[in-house]
Structure 1
Amino acid sequence: MSHLSWLESGVVGLLQGVAELFPVSSLGHSVLLPAVVGGAWQHDLDVRAPESPYLAYIVGLHVATAIALIIYFWRDWVRIVRGLVRSIARRRIDTADERLAWLLVLGTIPVGVVGLLAEHAFRTTLARPVPTAVFLVVNGFVLLGIEHFRGGQPADEEYVDERVSGAESDRRLAGLPTTQAVAIGAAQILALAPGLSRSGVTTAAGLSARLSREDAARFAFLLATPVILAAGVLKLGDLAGPLGDGIRPQVLFGSVLSGVGAYVSVRFLTRYFASRSMRPFGAYCVAAGAACLVWFAVR
């Protein structure tokens, strides 16, 4: 029988929901936290174990995270899905919503293909504490580096209605060249390595393509939603089978916390990234990753 305590499920669930959207790597933290705590946590929460219930659990939590993103961006997803359906029915692309829908489809294909083919290799090879801590440091330097080369950007603290701001941002994103949109989406492949953040590398790729902070973060969240949802749905079958025996109530508990954490995080981050940099997150990743490496060396 699998084992997952209520405390473990609650902490990991909340951590997953928050860290998935902050540019600090949720999978990296899910690997490092048990290794740092040690004891039963390290035994129970091992993503590298054969047929790991913990891996199924944390990936299954992605469903709750994706639902939170869909709820927050529901107006945008209604427009985008309608645009995609219209475009397919008419066999042409006429509007910004239709073009953005196809950019999101094309942008998620690379990570979807690589994830299906190489997820096991990434997990068994890289999901160990030391490589994960190294990748977390690398993630920090990526965030700091893109901010350094991007340079300062004037802050705009004036409040704008989210519905108006979102529609305007989507129109700007619809104007992205297809190759740039696919390249930004493909950056999510890097996040298959624990310690590299999906939202961090995707937002950094958007900034390198000269998107504004608001548009880069928004595109990163929109691109992440179908990928996160698909990854979680694929693991739900595992949790419904033997891997979920004895831990399904804890899975539900962790999922609720994950969804709440994700909703609060995306609400905060969409406003934060409109006018502020990723430097604090970059500094945190470098410091946390380095501290973990020191801890593993002296323990």
Structure 2
Amino acid sequence: MSAVTYFEAIVVGALQGVSELFPVSSLGHSILIPAWLGGSWARDLSMGGESPYLAVLVAMHVATALALVVFYRRDWARIVRGMWTSVRDRRVSDADQRLAWLLVLATIPVGLAGLLLERVLRDFLGKPVPTAVFLALNGVVLLAVERSARAARRPVPVVSGPEPSEVTRDFSAEITMPIRIISAEEAADRRLARLGVGEAVLIGAAQILALFPGISRSGITMVAGLRRGLSHEDAARFAFLLATPVILAAGVLKLPSLFTQANQASLGPALVGSVVAGVAAYLALRFLTRHFETRTLTPFAVYCVVAGLGSLAYFLA
């Protein structure tokens, strides 16, 4: 059984950190890149059996989740505090408490599905050809939701009419109340907290599709969020908040496999690759949060279609 080398771990770590958060499927790339490169890469980075590569990927997933926690540390501090006060007081009375419960409820479907289906789907579909098909399909879905979103944003003609009459109002007698200035992040969390329970669970359940290699977790979750009326910025934010406990829990659950006797030779590369993955994930988050303030999923969709179809043609040739 081949061990993962340091160079391979660095390359895969950078790839994992970026592709886990970019809507392009980290699992899909973890399968396709070694198959594309062939040789020792295909041998060392095999997804089959009890390959050390799987254990190394687990460590990188944990590092990616920690990067998410660090990036959204203020949000998670409010969310955890909201959960604590909600349980203590046995009520849900503010946005932080509501968002905390929405995240918990929205995580349950993918958690259960992952326990039941992850190994089966990986063993049956974790091969280059099915992965290439799902990657292309991922791009098609992203393109479709963007087309739908553009249609929904078309301006509605305004019918001109008489100007409303001006009303003079005396504000001198009104009592002014102090206004607390909140951050943009807190304002975004308040918007997310307005989601209905069913809407949040539906968006969270979309992550189940990411068990298919080539389907992006962040991408498919954003698609579900956009379909429920969220902006790109808020859909991305909710996708990343939802992904954090899922990735972290799955990684921690499987992390002991890295410390078996068979994987001893891969411990060093796993550590180095995890550091690279964490840094790459943090930088990816900085880029994506700014990107989705004004831009869309379209560039990632085009990439997925081209990469998926190109890979399919290559592996079927």
TM over 0.5: yes
Q: TM-score, length-normalised on structure 2?
A: 0.89
Q: Pick from 198, 213, 226 the counterpart of residue 232 of structure 2.
A: 213
| Alignment partner, residue 32 of structure 1 | 32
Identical amino acids, percent of aligned pairs: 57
Task: Out of 288-297 and 18-27, give the one that drifted further.
Answer: 288-297
* Backbone CA RMSD of aligned residues: 1.2
Cα offset for 1:275? 1.1
DSSP-derived class of the 1:22 partner: coil
| C-alpha separation in 2, matches of 1:243 and 1:216 | 41
| Alignment partner, residue 158 of structure 1 | none
Cα offset for 1:294? 1.2
| Alignment partner, residue 18 of structure 1 | 18
| Alignment partner, residue 260 of structure 1 | 279
DSSP-derived class of the 1:289 partner: helix
| C-alpha separation in 1, matches of 2:228 and 2:55 | 35
Cα offset for 1:117? 1.1
Instruction: Give 4+ residue runs of structure 1 displaced > 3 Å after superposition.
Output: none
Q: TM-score, length-normalised on structure 1?
A: 0.94
- AA at the equivalent of 1:260: V
Write out aligned runs for 1:1-299 (5 A).
2-47=2-47, 49-151=48-150, 164-298=183-317
Cα offset for 1:2? 4.5
- AA at the equivalent of 2:115: L
CA contact (8 A) 1:84 1:101 kept: yes
For structure 2, list consecutive stretches of 5 or more residues without a partner in the other structure. Answer: 155-181
| C-alpha separation in 2, matches of 1:243 and 1:21 | 30
CA contact (8 A) 1:2 1:247 kept: no
Cα offset for 1:137? 0.2
- AA at the equivalent of 1:294: A
| Alignment partner, residue 159 of structure 1 | none
- AA at the equivalent of 1:180: E
- AA at the equivalent of 1:77: W
DSSP-derived class of the 1:274 partner: helix
| C-alpha separation in 2, matches of 1:244 and 1:150 | 47
Quick check: which has more Rg, 1 or 2? Answer: 2
CA contact (8 A) 1:134 1:289 kept: yes
Cα offset for 1:288? 0.4
| Alignment partner, residue 169 of structure 2 | none
| C-alpha separation in 1, matches of 2:100 and 2:88 | 14
* Number of residue equivalences: 289
